[in-house]
Chains A and B, each alone.
Chain A
Amino acid sequence: MASLSPTGAASARRAFIARTTVRVGVLLFGFIIGMRPAVLALREGPPAQLADITRMEAEFAGFRSELPRDARVGLIAASMYRLSATWSHCLAAYALAPTRISRVELSECVERGPAECGVRELDYLLTLDGPDSNLVAAATGFAARRSMGHWVLLAPARR
């Protein structure tokens, strides 16, 4: 095995020190980069969403167990718990799966009549809005006028 000359050995040592220095620098930089997202996120805290889903799950738990598999359920497209109508509709579909949930624009139904928005096809009409809601009041009156004996109107007084 050939041995290095003193000049060659010094050069190899310098190269080793340079390479090691670069790698230590890269490692420190990598450490800062690698820790950054977790540290920032832990400081900020995760987005909260659980409360909406938990509330919806609890709300529908009993109802879901009683539903026939082929039930046709309409959900009044009003905001619930100050959530948007789209959001609450999607949450209800998740909470009530495997029941299919149709979104019902009740205000249109009240104005145009049930045939226009297909509510006659539904077995259940749901809303989670409080009894003070205009839409729920309209829905209650609507259900009464149509003699919807087998329809269930959920309108818990919670906000």
Chain B
Amino acid sequence: MSVALSLTFALGLPAVVGWNLLALAAGQFPRSPFGWAGRVANVVILGLGIASLLAFALLLAGRGVGPSFRAADAGVFFVAAVGTIRWSRRARAEDVPPATFLEKAALAVLVVALGFALWRFAVTAAVMPHGYWDAWEIWNRRARFIFRSGTGWWGAFGADVKGAEYPLLLPITVVRLWAYAGETTAVPVLVAAIFALTILLIVVDRVAEQAGTFPGAIAGLVLLGTPGFQYWAALQYADLPMAAFLVAAIGALTASERLDAAARWRRQLLAGLMLGLAGWTKNEGIAAAVITALVYSVSAGRRNGFRASLRELGALAAGGGLPAAAWLVFHFLLAPALVPALSTGQSAATLLSKLGDADRWSIVIWGLLRRSPGSEIGLPVVAVVLALVLGARPMALVRSPPLWIAVLFWLSMAVVFVVSPIDLRFHLGTAGDRLLLQAWPLFTLGVFGAIGTQGRGVREPAPRRLGRAHPA
């Protein structure tokens, strides 16, 4: 079986289960190019996330990666796909009115820009098939370690292995695909492409559903216009996969407000699962999950009271249970250290002293501002101005939960840099831009999604057509 066929099979099986789960959690979606694209994007990363959890369980239960691993993986997914097939009947594509000329033009422009971005990705991947520094030093090396070690795969988590404590989703996803297709650099390249493309499609779909096709396309162009987004996508780091799960979770939550209680609860479970998978990808995902839970429970509490807030938290926590359990088992059995690079040699006194150091704050804030996504052309400001021009109301921006989450996440990263034991300028220089990038898709979603809301935290009545949610 060729590599392409093997990979199609390995990606397709969990995607079928993902499709069924998504049909249960979020049955309706718009019958439009963006609606389908967003649906497929969600299904693929949901499948990859679940597959990484299963692969971890199989590794723990079995004896490394081999034919039995592959057979068990395929068997479980086949049974799960058959067992959940009836849920797929809940998926209904809703008819939408035909797109206007401008909407079609916007779609065409987005496709052309995406074509160029994919070309750039392919050129970079051809020259750097192993990715860049962290990709081969940490993520792909761990994948090699686990895949090549056979029964000795536990050795990949020794104290002398760099990055042994980093969460497992990305390397284990690569290992699982290698188990089907054999060890090839095409796999990490493909995984990187999938996650980057997923982010774009989810943002475009969510903005289109909230604000219309035209703002959706503009949001996509802003994302593609972010130099760091294209740059880091091709270098196989874990930041964009984490961002993909994060934006998928928020996408599920933003669409849940107008649903009935049961449907909303299912969406929140799905969002919780995606948040958990973000934490299973990178530890920053845990911070993002906590911030998301906080923002949405406060928002629910303000609208419907304390009990609603608790229900929201409960559903998110329940959804994130499996990835959280995997993370705990991983640290309990394999990698006891949590974040040694940041915690070694730190005491309460040094932390407090750094937090009170105005010079450090100044270096961090200015350093991060200089490294913010698209800062070369002031893209964050450009995005806000474009959204205002397209009809977003300032209060809608101020009250946008995705924007709040993005901003709070960036603040939390600023705190991490302030207390970091690593040389501050080195740390900012090597990690600042990509850590900010993790919440950039969320920022884009929040800014352009705000075009479709009134600014009172309540969505307008359901739009009659997707392209005209808000009369600009």
B102 contacts A46, CB within 8 Å? no
Residues of B within 8 A of A33 (CB): 221-222, 225, 377, 379, 382
A143 to chain B, nearest CB (A): 23
Q: Contact size class for A?
A: 35 or more
- CB contact list, B154-211 vs A, under 8 A: 155-156, 158, 160-162
A97 contacts B105, CB within 8 Å? no
Stretch in A2-10, A18-26, A107-115 with 4+ CB within 8 Å of B: A18-26
User: Which of A48, A91, A100 has most B Cβ within 10 Å?
Assistant: A100
B230 contacts A97, CB within 8 Å? no
A157 to chain B, nearest CB (A): 26
Overall SS of chain B's interface? helix
Tell whether A49 is near chain B: CB-to-CB under 8 Å: yes
Overall SS of chain A's interface? helix
Residues of A within 8 A of B222 (CB): 30, 33-34
User: Known interface pairs A27-B218, A97-B141. Does A38 touch B120 (Cβ–Cβ under 8 Å)?
Assistant: yes
Fill in one digit per residue for B111-130: 1 if any A CB lies within 8 Å of its CB, else 0. 01100110110011001111
B224 contacts A98, CB within 8 Å? no
B109 contacts A49, CB within 8 Å? no
Contact among A24, A40, A42, A50 for B102, CB-based, below 8 A:
A24
B130 contacts A69, CB within 8 Å? no
A94 to chain B, nearest CB (A): 5
Residues of B within 8 A of A53 (CB): 130, 136
Contact among A22, A34, A46, A90 for B124, CB-based, below 8 A:
A46
- CB contact list, B226-250 vs A, under 8 A: 226-227, 229-231, 234
Q: Contact size class for B?
A: 35 or more
Stretch in B13-21, B142-150, B305-313, B340-348 with 4+ CB within 8 Å of A: B142-150
A31 contacts B113, CB within 8 Å? yes
Tell whether B386 is near chain A: CB-to-CB under 8 Å: yes
A91 to chain B, nearest CB (A): 8
B334 to chain A, nearest CB (A): 15
Query: What residue of chain A has the Cβ atom nearest to residue B102's Cβ?
Result: A23
User: Known interface pairs A30-B221, A46-B123. Does A97 touch B144 (Cβ–Cβ under 8 Å)?
Assistant: yes
A48 contacts B127, CB within 8 Å? yes
Tell whether A144 is near chain B: CB-to-CB under 8 Å: no
Could you tell me the distance between the alpha carbons of A90 and B162 in the complex, rounded to whole angstroms?
A: 10
Could you tell me the distance between the alpha carbons of A111 and B299 in the complex, rounded to whole angstroms?
A: 66
Could you tell me the distance between the alpha carbons of A20 and B472 in the complex, rounded to whole angstroms?
A: 10
Residues of A within 8 A of B132 (CB): 47, 49
Could you tell me the distance between the alpha carbons of A39 and B225 in the complex, rounded to whole angstroms?
A: 10
Query: What residue of chain B has the Cβ atom nearest to residue A30's Cβ?
Result: B221
B227 contacts A34, CB within 8 Å? no
A30 contacts B217, CB within 8 Å? yes
Residues of A within 8 A of B129 (CB): 50
User: Which of A22, A30, A47, A100 has most B Cβ within 10 Å?
Assistant: A30
Residues of A within 8 A of B226 (CB): 37
Tell whether B98 is near chain A: CB-to-CB under 8 Å: no
Contact among A22, A23, A38 for B116, CB-based, below 8 A:
A38
B230 contacts A37, CB within 8 Å? yes
User: Which of B152, B220, B221 has most A Cβ within 10 Å?
Assistant: B221
A34 contacts B141, CB within 8 Å? no
Fill in one digit per residue for B79-107: 1 if any A CB lies within 8 Å of its CB, else 0. 00000000000000000000000100110
Could you tell me the distance between the alpha carbons of A46 and B382 in the complex, rounded to whole angstroms?
A: 27
Contact among B105, B130, B162 for A50, CB-based, below 8 A:
B130
Tell whether B357 is near chain A: CB-to-CB under 8 Å: no
User: Known interface pairs A37-B226, A38-B117. Does A30 touch B386 (Cβ–Cβ under 8 Å)?
Assistant: yes
A19 to chain B, nearest CB (A): 6
Could you tell me the distance between the alpha carbons of A20 and B222 in the complex, rounded to whole angstroms?
A: 20
Could you tell me the distance between the alpha carbons of A42 and B126 in the complex, rounded to whole angstroms?
A: 13
Contact among A34, A37, A49, A98 for B110, CB-based, below 8 A:
A34
Residues of B within 8 A of A41 (CB): 120, 124, 227, 230-231
Residues of B within 8 A of A49 (CB): 127-128, 130, 132
Q: List 6 A-B contacts (CB under 8 A).
A: A23-B102, A23-B214, A30-B225, A35-B224, A46-B124, A100-B158
Task: Please give me the 4 A-B residue pairs with the lowest Cβ-Cβ distance, nearest first.
Answer: A34-B221, A33-B225, A34-B113, A30-B221
Give residues in A with beta carbon < 8 Å to B. Answer: 19-20, 22-24, 26-27, 29-31, 33-42, 45-50, 53, 69, 90-91, 93-94, 97-98, 100, 102
